[in-house]
Amino acid sequence: MKRSLITACILMCLLAGAATAAQESVAGKCMTCHKEKSHGLYNQWYKSEHAKHNVTCLDCHHAAKGEPDAFMHEGALIATLVTPKDCGVCHQKQTMEVMASYHATAGEILESKDAYLAHAAGGAPVAVAGCENCHGCKVEIDPDSPNKLSRLSWPNSGIGRINPDGSKGSCTACHTRHAFSVKQARQPESCGKCHLGPDHPQEEIYKESKHGNAYYTHKDEMNLDSEPWIVGQDYDEAPTCATCHMSATPNQQVTHDVGQRISWTLRPPVSKTKPDWQSRRKNMQDVCTNCHGQGFVDGHYAQFDGIVNLYNEKFAKPGLQLYKKAKELKLGEGKAAFSNDYDWTWWEIWHHEGRRARMGASMMGPDYTWWHGIYDVAQHFYFKYIPELRAYDNPEMNKLIDEVLADPYHQWLNRPTADIKADIKSGKMAEMFDDFYQVQSK
């Protein structure tokens, strides 16, 4: 009996060794072929941490029988699509954090007004090549395709990609294949594929800010390939997007949940505080105080809250009230959404200009806070949006507009310039905003 057990153990070890040898043989075949036919791809892998730790093509691309995107390729069953579930075999903690993050929900834009507008005003090709390539799409299977993936949904490295195996996201959105470089993901340009442009110009705001100034003039001193990479210890020249939202501090570990340090939600028409926003703000302030005194940090947050509350109370809440009334009264009835002027104007006020103002304040970008932000909001609110709604000459709408404009925030419209200047100089004009410098919204 004992001899049989020993024999069985030896046989299992031999079989395991044979399987490992066979797998290594297939992996070697992958590398030999790709070194010849796609040399750039091979070199990216060869210089990566994966290669240093003997993680081969097959370790990531291997597919199990029955997987919807599996296909035979040169004698191996593989999948072109590598998903967070695949990465999670080795990077379990990171995968769980990403799956719990706001990034993983980005593919939900497929059901949003953004996607509707792209399809209706533009057309399906721009939704596929535009919106979905940042937000992610539902990757479809095409049995007739050589790699089993539909050309209308692949390639796609959208951060909220919906994968055939049920996982959400794409690690390659930040860690570009096939190098998967941590150094690259720590730099603001990695975020810039998606976080830029008229409605969320974080990369441009960062470049304008003193943080961006410091980074671009001290990049060579940032120890970007250091492990660990702790602010205040391994570098102190400047923060990057990763520093503030993900990377380690002396008191916090690295996180792939990008919302753990964000206290306001700046995306919707009216900003709201996040659940347990106090702890999230404390997390972010922990990052800040590695380079700034608490007084500096408190001053920044007071100014940031001031802009968010200014936007909310003066423009967003009354603007949304007017928009809902217009829909209730069916102004422009019979037309599709966005087929009339006030739909577009209100959209641009909150979706583009209002976001720029709020994000500019959050990241210390003065030009985006004012000239690309509240300046545009005010101009279009007073001299485009209101006139477009008045043009319908509806008594209920006109009454509501009059009530909105009767608010003290808007009374400057009917006052002499000299009086306004005197109130600005005396500080009286600023008094109505005194309570804005603290969190208002819940």
pLDDT at residue 17, as a whole number: 44
> What contacts 24+ positions apart, CB below 8 Å, involve 341-347?
341/388, 342/385, 342/388, 342/389, 345/380, 345/384, 345/385, 345/388, 346/319, 346/322, 346/385, 347/113, 347/117
Does residue 112 have a pLDDT over 80?
yes
Instruction: Give the per-residue pLDDT at 185.
Output: 96
Q: Read off the pLDDT of residues 413-428 as tens digits, 9 standing for 90 and up.
A: 999 999 999 999 999 9
pLDDT of residue 14: 39
CB 380 within 8 A of CB 348: yes
pLDDT, position 288:
98
pLDDT given at position 324: 97
Residue 15 has pLDDT above 90, yes or no: no
pLDDT tens profile 221-249? 999 999 999 999 999 999 999 999 999 99
pLDDT tens digits along 126-157? 999 999 999 999 999 999 999 999 999 999 99
389-408 average pLDDT score: 98
For tokens 């072929």, name the residue. 33
Give the per-residue pLDDT at 246: 97
User: Which amino acid, residue 214?
Assistant: A
Position 9 pLDDT exceeds 60: no
Say if residues 343 and 406 touch (Cβ distance below 8 Å).
Answer: no
- The per-residue pLDDT for 27 is 67
Q: 117-125 long-range CB contacts below 8 Å, 24 or more apart?
A: 117/338, 117/347, 120/336, 120/337, 120/338, 121/338
pLDDT of residue 12 exceeding 50, the answer is no
pLDDT in tens, 299-323: 999 999 999 999 999 999 999 999 9
pLDDT band at 25 (very low <50, low <70, confident <90, very high): low
- Estimate to the nearest angstrom the gap between the alpha carbon of 219 and the chain centroid: 23
Rounded Cα–Cα distance for residues 186 and 13 (Å): 42
Contacts of 378 (CB under 8 A, 6+ apart): 315
CA distance 56 to 233: 34
In tens, the pLDDT along 267-296 reads: 999 999 999 999 999 999 999 999 999 999
Q: Measured between alpha carbons, how far is 189 from 203 in angstroms, rounded to an integer? A: 7
d(CA 253, CA 250): 8
Distance between CA 201 and CA 197 in Å, rounded?
5
The CA-atom distances, in angstroms, between 324 and each of 67, 154, 331 are 47, 39, 10
% of the chain exceeding 90 in pLDDT: 87
Secondary structure (3-state) at 435: helix
* Cβ-contact 177, 44 below 8 angstroms: yes
* Average pLDDT along the chain: 92
In angstroms, rounded to a whole number, what is the distance separating the alpha carbons of residues 426 and 366?
24
At 365, give phi and psi (nearest 5°): -110, 95
Share of the chain above pLDDT 70, in %: 93
Residue 71, φ and ψ in degrees, nearest 5: -155, 155
The pLDDT assigned to 7 comes to 47
